């Protein structure tokens, strides 16, 4: 599988990334999870995407239990995690209302918790999960410096940030933010038009792309009937499946987005990895865009 | 009261600013206005916000009459005024239609008129009141230079400017624009999300905030019932009043916004100044935001 | 007629530009088209606007037939063309679906086709016709360099680009993009407010303005009744025609937009050129804006 060089001589990701958003729903035993990770590695997926908040703050712990059993896997994978979202749940008994926290001390505590939960000494990449209107960029910068100096986190990025929010945080940092993890799909094509992807291409930053399949809605919802039919016609042309076409749409973008695959099914993952071999012709790519937006390009 | 350093060694404002938008409605005698200003000074409010256009071009004159009686107050306060809006009214007999004017000659004439009306030799800060699509940024820069050289205006800023409009004007100036006076409140939270506040924080520029209480609408309008109830619950938690909570929401922003208090009532002003001592917890701040926007944060 | 200096010592355009979008509908003989061009030259219109896609890829050929008969005209005019839009039509038998193409090889092929069709050795200016989400800015830069080195295209620009798209492409180029051709009119005033014109003024780039008359809709559509009546009142005040007022609105912008006149009627062109002598007072300009937007300026 193609690898994307994120930091020269220091860090590269596999083009497709395995997401563990729903790990707690997969009901995998430790051995099954290890087998699932190894299956991904066989297909070239080395990068794993986590967040403290996934599974109501339980996802990292599940993955960490597996890593404890199979510690040799740590050096074969890259680990991305995120912090900053808080909501009341069993694992956060002190939290009484949904909120974000990008305070300096909080970021350090959250990253340290992620390391403990994940059973690892370092994160390859830590992301601020959501833009926080209360973010003091100087505080974040200081927290990043502390985490970097201690070796606990090697690189930093953001998720769901607008261009202005990205530029603000970047202005305070000594090193470049190496990604912005964005929702990019045929049913969420805003980043193609609101400047987000233009800005990333300009600065040669590769986005991670979440929910490339639209959370399954394209497959079932009446609202997306026209898109689904157009995509299935095109899938037939390429002798491909619907999910592959939806991924190929994102993969065609010139910013080299790295799709996060959210499935826990090895067959689906294998099939979706194969989407990286599809090269949509421009006329098909635009036909998908038009079907998704319900209007012709001008 | 906290002071905000706007220009190193040259200019600081009180965190809360007294606005005189409605001075003509307050029906104060010269002596009463002087007492009102002195009451503010006792509470640490040294900064006063004016505009040529307030009170249909009569507000500055009312304040100036008081300054003429109490000229010693001039050095105890900072005076901000604005120019650029014109509309037909008694004080502008030549104007036949609403319009903006950011022409170089006009800005100089308007600032000189403000000085005469306010009975002062200088403004601490002059703002372009509204972005004008006809603005020739080079002309504005030249006018600012002339006003600065003559000592009539010490510093310059803008009001209600978008990021692009701010960057355009700044690109022509020798000195930094020191503020953007924006409408910021729970019922006008756009600047938190459209890049305006991100840009200001990035460039370490402190906004002045107008209409932080939403022009009273939060207190009465049916439309804001959910917000009002959420804010009153939170007020109770802090043993505070509704207006204090609305101000605390703005004061919590990391850009150090300086709220302009619009009341002519000394009791209200004293109470609102006390809001600077409130520190909203993040969960309460986000609960207010959610109630105001009618949707959960993602 | 006023000339706009686009590149120092190298390229200037006439303030008004003759557009040939509808040349194929004008039903002009070669001699009539030559007379039409010469009529424009007498009025100072030296700049001509073309695109490969106009007239379903036939416009350039029609103009080129004329240039072949009157090759002496080439040095008296500036020629602008555009590439990047493709759709199925007789002249493009291989195209099976609407799409954009900003691939490097394609741009070179398209420019070479334009030269052949137009019967000229060089374009003064080549524009990317529409922003393409699939644009690889490095590829475009390489194509521009190749076309420049060969002398086939002297300068480059874009059309309908957002600020972010413009900044992205510019970041890869050795020379400045010299224009962004935008739809600017009373019924499409978005560029005045979305940062597009602010950005161009900031970087001292002059936009070309297309559809300044709103495609005729202001003259007839019920939807624009209020604007039409306001504009006709103002026209009367200046002893001018409606189309002249619509043009004067665009001409008043501080970015020095260059209107593209789309008519093939010499009388209308002469009248519209005369609009450059109108100077709308600010109150009339704002009255037009308010009538067009159906709301007062704040």
Model confidence at C296: pLDDT above 90: no
Q: Do B285 and A136 touch (CB under 8 A)?
A: no
Does residue C72 belong to any structural domain of this protein? yes
Q: Do C290 and B98 touch (CB under 8 A)?
A: yes
pLDDT on residue C191: 98
Mean pLDDT of B175-180: 98
Give me the percent of chain B exceeding a pLDDT of 90: 97
Does residue C258 belong to any structural domain of this protein? no
Domain containing C164 equals: 10-178
pLDDT in tens, B256-281: 999 999 999 999 999 999 999 999 99
Residues of chain A with pLDDT under 70: none
Sort strands C258-261 and C17-19 into parallel, antiparallel or unpaired.
Answer: parallel
pLDDT in tens, B19-28: 999 999 999 9
CATH number for the domain that contains residue A21: 3.20.20.100
Can you say whether residue B221 is alpha, beta or left, with left for phi > 0 and alpha for psi between -120 and 50 degrees? beta
Quickly state the pLDDT bin for B236 (edges 50, 70, 90): very high
Quick one: tokens of A65?
A: 């239990």
Mean pLDDT of B27-38: 98
Q: Do A171 and B197 touch (CB under 8 A)?
A: no
Reported ipTM: 0.96
Q: Do B98 and C298 touch (CB under 8 A)?
A: no
Q: Which helix (H) or strand (E) holds C119?
A: none
Does residue B241 belong to any structural domain of this protein? no
Does residue C229 belong to any structural domain of this protein? no
Instruction: Count up the domains in chain C and report the number.
Output: 1
Mean pLDDT of chain B, nearest integer: 97
Q: At what angle do helices C163-172 and C137-149 cross, to 10 degrees?
A: 60
pLDDT in tens, B94-108: 998 999 999 999 999
pLDDT in tens, C80-138: 999 999 999 999 999 989 999 999 999 999 999 999 999 999 999 999 999 999 999 99
Instruction: State the smallest CA–CA distance between residue B251 and chain A in angstroms.
Output: 10
Report the DSSP beta bridge partners of residue B78. B47
Is some CB atom of chain A closer than 8 A to the CB atom of B44?
Answer: no
Q: Provide DSSP, C141-188.
A: HHHHHHHHHTTSBS-EEEES--HHHHHHHHHH-SS----EEEE-BTTB
Model confidence at C157: pLDDT above 90: yes
Mean pLDDT of C154-175: 98
pLDDT on residue A50: 98
Does residue C47 belong to any structural domain of this protein? yes
Model confidence at C268: pLDDT above 90: yes
The closest of B185, B153, B187, B195 to B257, measured between CA atoms, is B185
Is some CB atom of chain A closer than 8 A to the CB atom of C160?
Answer: yes
Which chain C residues touch A198 with a CB distance below 8 Å?
Answer: 162, 164-165, 167-168
pLDDT on residue C297: 86
Model confidence at C295: pLDDT above 90: no
- Taking the C-alpha atoms of residue B124 and residue B107, their distance in angstroms, rounded to an integer, is 15
pLDDT in tens, C20-42: 999 999 999 999 999 999 999 99
Give the nearest partner residue to B282 out of A134, A136, A162, using CB atoms.
Answer: A134
Is some CB atom of chain A closer than 8 A to the CB atom of C173?
Answer: no
User: Which chains does C contact via 3+ CB–CB distances below 8 A?
Assistant: A, B
Model confidence at B297: pLDDT above 90: no
Does residue A154 belong to any structural domain of this protein? yes
Beta strands in chain C (DSSP E): 3-7, 11-14, 17-19, 47-49, 78-83, 85-86, 99-100, 125-128, 156-159, 180-183, 208-210, 258-261
pLDDT in tens, C197-217: 999 999 999 999 999 999 889
Q: Do C97 and A198 touch (CB under 8 A)?
A: no
Does residue B23 belong to any structural domain of this protein? yes
Does residue B131 contact residue B159 with C-beta atoms inside 8 Å?
A: no
Sort strands A47-49 and A78-83 into parallel, antiparallel or unpaired.
Answer: parallel
Which chain A residues touch C95 with a CB distance below 8 Å?
Answer: 283
pLDDT on residue A295: 86
Mean pLDDT of C3-22: 98
Does residue C2 belong to any structural domain of this protein? no
Is some CB atom of chain B closer than 8 A to the CB atom of C295?
Answer: no
- Taking the C-alpha atoms of residue A21 and residue A57, their distance in angstroms, rounded to an integer, is 11
Q: Do C95 and A284 touch (CB under 8 A)?
A: no
Which chain C residues touch B130 with a CB distance below 8 Å?
Answer: 297-298
Model confidence at B120: pLDDT above 90: yes
pLDDT in tens, A113-149: 999 999 999 999 999 999 999 999 999 999 999 999 9
* Torsions phi, psi for C290 (to 5 deg): -65, -40
pLDDT on residue C216: 85
pLDDT on residue C215: 85
């Amino acid at each position: 599988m193609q690898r994307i060089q994120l930091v020269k001589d220091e860090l590269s990701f596999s083009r497709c990334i395995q997401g563990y958003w729903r790990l707690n729903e997969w009901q995998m035993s430790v051995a099954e999870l290890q087998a699932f990770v190894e299956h991904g590695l066989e297909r070239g997926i080395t990068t794993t995407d986590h967040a403290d908040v996934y599974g109501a703050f339980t996802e990292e712990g599940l993955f960490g239990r597996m890593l404890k059993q199979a510690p040799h896997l740590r050096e074969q994978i890259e680990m991305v995690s995120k912090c900053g979202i808080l909501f009341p749940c069993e694992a956060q008994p002190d939290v009484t209302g949904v909120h974000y926290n990008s305070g300096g001390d909080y970021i350090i505590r959250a990253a340290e918790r992620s390391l403990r939960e994940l059973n690892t000494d370092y994160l390859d990449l830590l992301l601020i999960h959501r833009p926080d209107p209360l973010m003091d960029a100087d505080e974040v910068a200081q927290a990043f410096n502390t985490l970097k100096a201690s070796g606990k986190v090697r690189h930093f990025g953001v998720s769901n940030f607008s261009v202005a929010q990205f530029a603000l945080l970047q202005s305070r940092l000594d090193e470049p933010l190496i990604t912005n993890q964005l929702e990019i799909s045929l049913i969420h094509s805003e980043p193609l038009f609101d400047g987000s992807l233009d800005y990333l291409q300009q600065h040669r930053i590769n986005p991670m792309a979440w929910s490339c399949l639209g959370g399954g809605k394209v497959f079932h919802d009446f609202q997306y009937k026209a898109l689904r039919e157009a995509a299935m016609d095109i899938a037939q042309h390429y002798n491909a499946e619907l999910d592959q076409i939806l991924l190929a749409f994102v993969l065609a973008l010139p910013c080299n987005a790295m799709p996060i695959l959210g499935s826990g099914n090895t067959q689906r993952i294998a099939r979706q990895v194969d989407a990286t071999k599809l090269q949509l012709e421009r006329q098909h790519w635009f036909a998908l865009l038009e079907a998704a937006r319900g209007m012709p390009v001008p």
